A and B are shown apart, each in its own frame.
Chain A
Amino acid sequence: MTGKIDVDRAKCCYCGGCVGVCPVNALELRDTILFVDEEKCVKCGTCVKFCPVDALRLI
């Protein structure tokens, strides 16, 4: 699969809500910074759909 999840740091409210819906455990919130493990990510877009503030994009 191609592409990756882009985190818009200006928009992200670091709530971790996306972490709770990631089916492959590819997201991790460390205090205020969201990390995406590109090895694990399957680009399913679940986090993109969930994000309350549109801070995530599949690019």
Chain B
Amino acid sequence: MRELQYDAVVVGAGPAGSIAARTLAGKGVKTLVLDKRQEIGTPKRCAEAINGRGLRRVGLEPDPRWAVQKINGSVLYAPGGKALKLVFDDRLGYILERKIFEKYLAADAINLGAKYMVKTLATGVIKEDGRVVGVEADFMGEEYRIMSRLVIAADGVDSMIAKSAGLKTVNSLSDYHSGFQYEMAGLKIDGENLLHIFFGDDNAPKGYVWIFPKGNGVGNVGIGILGKLSAPGRKAQFYLDRFIESRPEIFSGASPIEVNSGGIPVGSAVECLVADGLMLVGDAAHQVNPIHGGGISMAMHAAKIAGEVGAKALSEGDVSRERLFEYDTLWRAGDGVKAQKLLKLRSFMEKLDSTDLDTLADILESDEITRIVEGDYGLMAKKIIRKAPSILPLAKKFLI
């Protein structure tokens, strides 16, 4: 058993963990990051899309080494086939190469003084008088006891740390998507600067199929379906394979170069993001955009707030739940508000059948959809009243 002493331990070296570590280390906090994987950044559990704002608000400038494809819009394909093109204007997006991005973020934190350990499994928290005071970990068969006044759980949907501290972070199949993805080469994509998103329950029950281009015919081709509709013989992989087979114009010359799967929390964030000596960030805290399932932007921003609050709390010598709760308050006042609004939109969309979705695609303009996914439903409500009264009761129930 080896004993180590740090001010802060971050469990998980994904985007959230490394942004938390960078923030803490940048403020002079002695920080250690643990990751159970033997290589940071792999396997990805992600479609790798992020908007420019998501990078800039945590102080990152897109770097062509990891921001491999610029995205300036998306095409939404309604179940009946109608394609709606949304242009992002000034809101440029990027497809990341996560394998490189995550290592870049780790290097950034290390250059600011953080220490990292990989292939190191945090097996649980150490508690004293009900407070979290460190973690136990295993590195290649060697046991570590790491004392730390602050622990940040950034260990993903399969978080063991929050659970071992007694927090309830279990996902429910009605608020969780089952995801599957091939990264493919040889794709024939009309518009490599666009996200391609396919709706309809035949394609992806209560979810969508995506093609996110990475340039030169390479792209992430994936699917998310609502967990409670996933069933033996009707799994995410089954639906994606069927989609690929039905579109030879895109896929006839394509082959996979990688396979990914994952669980995607699309409900509310966990009830409380902190405990005595502990903070939760990213997928571990269910900080994901409920309408598109993207999590990188929200996770990194939450981690930045957590790092800032954590550093202040450490310098004041108070890492109680009450002190750390400032992070919970700040997060909920920002991204939390938007996430709750979009959760309503998700509930509404889930009640619509493919015919309803086709109707919406017919009556809504592209710029209106852009506003809807930002949480502004006013225009959609007016359009529904005038042009699609059959959907009105559902819109009233879920969006007002």
Contacts and interface: CB of A to CB of B under 8 A. Distances in A.
Interface of A: 13-23, 25, 27-31, 46, 48-54
A17 B231 CA distance: 15
Contacts of B236: 52-53
Interface of B: 36-38, 43, 45, 119, 121, 156-160, 163, 169-173, 176, 178-180, 227-228, 230-233, 235-238, 259-265, 283
A28 B259 CA distance: 21
A13 B183 CA distance: 14
3 closest Cβ pairs, A-B complex:
A17-B263, A16-B158, A19-B158
Given A53-B180, A54-B235, A15 B261 contact: yes
The main secondary structure of chain A at its interface with chain B is loop
9 contacts: A15-B45, A16-B262, A17-B263, A17-B264, A20-B176, A21-B171, A27-B158, A30-B121, A49-B230
B281 to A, nearest CB: 15
Contacts of A25: 163, 170
A19 B227 contact: no
A46 B121 contact: no
A31 B121 contact: yes
Given A15-B45, A52-B178, A52-B237, A20 B263 contact: yes
A23 B171 CA distance: 8
Contacts of A50: 173, 176, 178, 227, 230, 263
Given A15-B263, A20-B171, A52 B179 contact: yes
A48 B160 CA distance: 20
Given A50-B227, A52-B178, 18 more contacts: A13-B260, A16-B263, A17-B263, A19-B157, A19-B158, A20-B171, A20-B176, A20-B263, A20-B283, A21-B170, A25-B170, A28-B160, A30-B36, A31-B38, A48-B232, A49-B228, A50-B230, A51-B235
